[in-house]
Structures are given as structure tokens and as C-alpha cells.
Amino acid sequence: MTTPFERLEPISSHQCFDGEQRFYRHMSSEIGLPMRFGLFLPPQALAGQAVPLLTWLAGLTCTEETFAIKAGAQRTASELGLALLTPDTSPRGAGLDGEDHHWDFGVGAGFYLDATQAPWSGHWCMESYLVKELLPAVQSEFGLANQRLGLFGHSMGGHGALTLSLRHPGLFASVSAFAPICAPTRCPWGHKAFTGYLGQDESTWTAHDASALMAQQASAPHPEGILIDQGLADQFLAEQLYPEAFEEACNKAGQPLTLRRHPGFDHGYYFIASFVDDHLRHHAKVLCT
């Protein structure tokens, strides 16, 4: 079989809860650089079943390994029959000043959009990479179910999950997020990233703002519901995340939303690991029926 990837290279494979956690490298035509991703294949997929694909978009400072190592999602994914895809967050190795400073929004963090401003526009095309290249290639290469895609993520990746599901109606059957950046046009992180990637014209920014996109919907884009978990001890909650803005937009659009606020939980992976099984089951209700 002809591979849909250009130079797909296995990096490692690890037995995990009767499935396999794998990591790959490939040459990306959309990014123009080598990219990495992780893929957990549950036992059902290893036995030849075309299982659904659930993609995790990670946050700032993360790689394709972070969720796979820290979240502990493979146990329940194995039980439910869900494949888990973990792309890297950003292009790497372009030789641009600041690209490796992934702690600093606007200089390296991918933000799951296609940059229009130099020097980032040459390689920072994460939206096209995911939607046009990686997802269909993974479905084809590994014999996964067509038209059964779910999307979730954390922080910057939660922003990506919400915005990409709204920007590509019908592509993702289910969506959820942990502590997403819900209104980047209102927060410092978003202002820095959008100025760098999209330019000074703020009228172009709302196309990548989940709250603004949801407020424009004439009807519920996900009638089965969206799940968001937010920790109330999250150090970024007040200044950067704005879940109340997305909640208001969902109310306006008639979009069912379960927004759970958890006392004592912060922004990190202990929080994600505590509730990730709920998210997997949320997606399985839609993807595995």
C-alpha cells in the first residue's frame, strides 16, 4: 500500500493497556519541515477494526509526547476502542529567531492557525497541517474509521479544539476542552500571538476566537453537547481564559454546553489526568455508536 505520508519514520512503539503507544516522524508538505506525532492504537485497531480517531491538541511548552506520558488516557481508550492522536504543537527547526521559546506566546507556539505574517507564514501553518494533511493521512495509513473524528485539547490546544471544530463544520463529530483560551482577542496571550501571526488588523482575529465564532452560529453546531472542564485554582483563569465568554456565546447560539468548574484544581496535567476519562466517554458516546 502506498503511504499517504512523505517519509513516515517510526520512532518508537510501546505496549500499553493491550494496545500500542507509537511515535512517528514524517516530512510535512504543509509545514515544509519534519513533524512528529504520537498515536495510541487500542487492541481493537490492532485486530483490524476501523476505530474512531480522537485527536488531542496540547498546550504551550508541550510536545507530541506530553499527553501520552502524563494524562493516563490509554487505559480507558483501550476499553472504549478509541485511537488517540497527539500531534506536536508547533513547527520546529525553521531557524527563526525565537521559534524555540515555546513558553512565550507569539514567538514559536503554533496556536493551531495558519500564520499570514512574515516570518511565521512560511512554516507556521498548523491548521492546514492538521485538517488537510495529518488527520486524513493517519486515518488512511492506519485503517481508522472515516467520518468519525473527535477533537479535544488543553489551554492553547483547547482554543484549537474549539476553533477548529467551528471553522470546519461537520468535520469533527465531538469536541471538548480543558481550561481552553476561550476568547483570545480579549487576553494578553491572544493579543501577542495574533499580532505576530495575523498582523495588526484586529478584524482578522475573530476568525480564530472561539467565543466570537460561537456567537455567530445560527444554530447549535454540536447538538450532542460540548464538555469543558476548568479548574478554579488555575493561575491563568481570570486574565487569560474567559470561559464565561464562551458560555455566554453558547447560550446565544443554543449550543448545549457542560462547563464544569472544579475548586482546587490548577492548569496542569494533574487536573487533566483527574478528568480525562470523562472526556473520553463524552467522545465515545458520539464516535462509538
- Other Cβ atoms less than 10 A from the Cβ of 48: the count is 8
266 is catalytic: no
Locate cell 499517504: which residue? 4
Please answer whether residues 92 and 111 qualify as being in contact, where contact means their C-beta atoms are separated by less than 8 angstroms. no
Residue 253 grid coordinates: 447560539
Please answer whether residues 126 and 30 qualify as being in contact, where contact means their C-beta atoms are separated by less than 8 angstroms. no
Dist CA 203 CA 184 (whole Å): 13
Dist CA 75 CA 88 (whole Å): 22
Dist CA 38 CA 90 (whole Å): 14
DSSP 266: -
176 is catalytic: no
Adjacency order of strands within the sheet including 53-57 = 6-16, 19-27, 34-41, 83-87, 53-57, 149-154, 174-178, 226-231, 257-262
Longest dimension (CA), the chain: 51
Please answer whether residues 106 and 156 qualify as being in contact, where contact means their C-beta atoms are separated by less than 8 angstroms. no
If you average pLDDT over residues 207-224, what whole number do you get? Answer: 97
Please tell me which residue in 267, 279, 282, 283 is annotated as part of the active site.
267
pLDDT computed for residue 2 by the predictor: 42
Please answer whether residues 154 and 201 qualify as being in contact, where contact means their C-beta atoms are separated by less than 8 angstroms. no
3-state DSSP assignment of residue 251: helix
Q: Strand runs (DSSP E) across the chain, as ranges?
A: 6-16, 19-27, 34-41, 53-57, 83-87, 149-154, 174-178, 226-231, 257-262
- Other Cβ atoms less than 10 A from the Cβ of 220: the count is 16
Please tell me which residue in 88, 234, 279, 282 is annotated as part of the active site.
234
Dist CA 208 CA 204 (whole Å): 8
Please tell me which residue in 78, 155, 165, 211 is annotated as part of the active site.
155
DSSP 138: H
Residue 64: band (very low, low, confident or very high) from pLDDT cuts 50, 70, 90: very high
Cα-based torsion angle of the residue sequence 236, 242, 246, 247 in order, rounded to the nearest 10 degrees? 100
Dist CA 74 CA 39 (whole Å): 10
Which residues, other chains included, contact 250 with Cβ-Cβ below 8 Å and sequence gap of 6+?
214, 226, 256, 257
If you average pLDDT over residues 96-117, what whole number do you get? Answer: 70
- Other Cβ atoms less than 10 A from the Cβ of 250: the count is 24
Residue 106: band (very low, low, confident or very high) from pLDDT cuts 50, 70, 90: very low
pLDDT, one tens digit per residue, over 144-186 is 998 889 999 999 999 999 999 999 999 999 999 999 999 999 9
Kindly report the CA angle at 210 between 139 and 40, in degrees rounded to 5? 25
Q: What is the mean pLDDT of the chain?
A: 94
Given a cut of 80, whether residue 79 has pLDDT beyond it is yes
209 is catalytic: no
Given a cut of 50, whether residue 139 has pLDDT beyond it is yes
